[in-house]
Amino acid sequence: MDDKVTALSEDDDFSLNCLVDGNPKPKVTWRRKNTKLYWKNPLRFHRVRYDVEGMYQCVATSDGFLDKTKDVFIDVVGKPYMEGEGETAMVSADTGETVRLACTVAADPLPSRVQWIWRNNYGFETELDSADFRIVTTRRNQEMTSSLTIQNVAVKDGGSYICETTNMFGTVKRNIHLEIKESIPKTVVIPAITGGVVLLVTVAVVVIIIICKKKGLMCKSYQDGIYLLI
């Protein structure tokens, strides 16, 4: 058995058999090295993902004998995997806020970059670059995360933001729809409320005067918020 085995990402029913001979016949199991995760022999994954990659040990156990082990590295290769692929994520923000959009990609080989495309509400597409937007990409092992930051967003910034990346095995993309809501300034609310209070007070004064006239009374004066009747 080779020291390294390559598996294709998204493959179904991957298996690795460890052949051991001995007398008495040993019990053979698999474990992920430096963990307590064990599997029966043959080692089998019904769906290969990038988190499968790592070092595994074939362990042969016989009563009265020391365990025998064989290390095998499983290398997972394939097209990029992006969480939320094929779906549209919905994000909303108020005008003037700062918005951060991010896409995380797992792949082997890792792509050289993540491309950001903006499709406005009229359907026109524009490739975004770091000259106009803050785009930061970080890499860690088989993963890379690209984040797009839009400061002081306006209604015109709404639309679909598409992150896309490619390696030798294929292309993957994700769509994030950004909706910008126009915020109402708080200074507009105060005059509106004050105006309503003035209107209510005016209506109350008119009602009091009408009542006075209907009862044959005369409103003599208005002092300290109280009408004096005679």
Confidence tier at 136 by pLDDT (50, 70, 90): very high
Cis peptide before 24 (omega within 30 of 0): yes
- CA distance linking residue 14 with residue 47, whole number of Å: 7
- Give, for 205, the enclosing helix (H) or strand (E): helix 186-214
This prediction's pTM: 0.69
Which one-letter amino acid corresponds to residue 31?
R
In 3D space, the residue among 164, 71, 57 whose CA is nearest the CA of residue 116 turns out to be 164
Q: How many whole angstroms from its chain centre is CA 173?
A: 14
Nearest to 165 by CA among 155, 156, 174: 174
DSSP code, position 184: P
Distance from the Cα of residue 218 to its chain's centroid: 71
Q: Which two tokens stand for residue 1?
A: 């058995």
Which band of pLDDT confidence, cut at 50, 70 and 90, is reported for residue 198? very low
Q: What is the DSSP letter of 26?
A: P
Mean predicted confidence (pLDDT) in 203-208 = 44
Report the pLDDT value the prediction gives residue 186, as an integer from 0 to 100: 55
Reported confidence tier of residue 185, pLDDT bands at 50, 70, 90: low
**Which is it for strands 115-119 and 125-128: parallel, antiparallel or unpaired?**
antiparallel
Q: How would residue 212 be classed by pLDDT, with cut points 50, 70 and 90?
A: very low
Is residue 139 exposed (0-12), middle (13-18) or buried (19+ Cβ within 10 Å)?
exposed
- Bond preceding residue 111 cis, omega within 30 of 0: no
CA distance 94 to 74: 47
Task: Please give the average per-residue pLDDT across 118-135, as a whole number.
Answer: 91
187 CB-side CA count, 13 A: 0
Q: What are phi and psi of 197, to 5 degrees?
A: -65, -45
Sign of the CA dihedral with 212 first, then 213, 217, and 220 last: positive
How many whole angstroms separate alpha carbon 111 and alpha carbon 139?
Answer: 10
84 has a pLDDT exceeding 50: yes
pLDDT of the residue at 23: 85
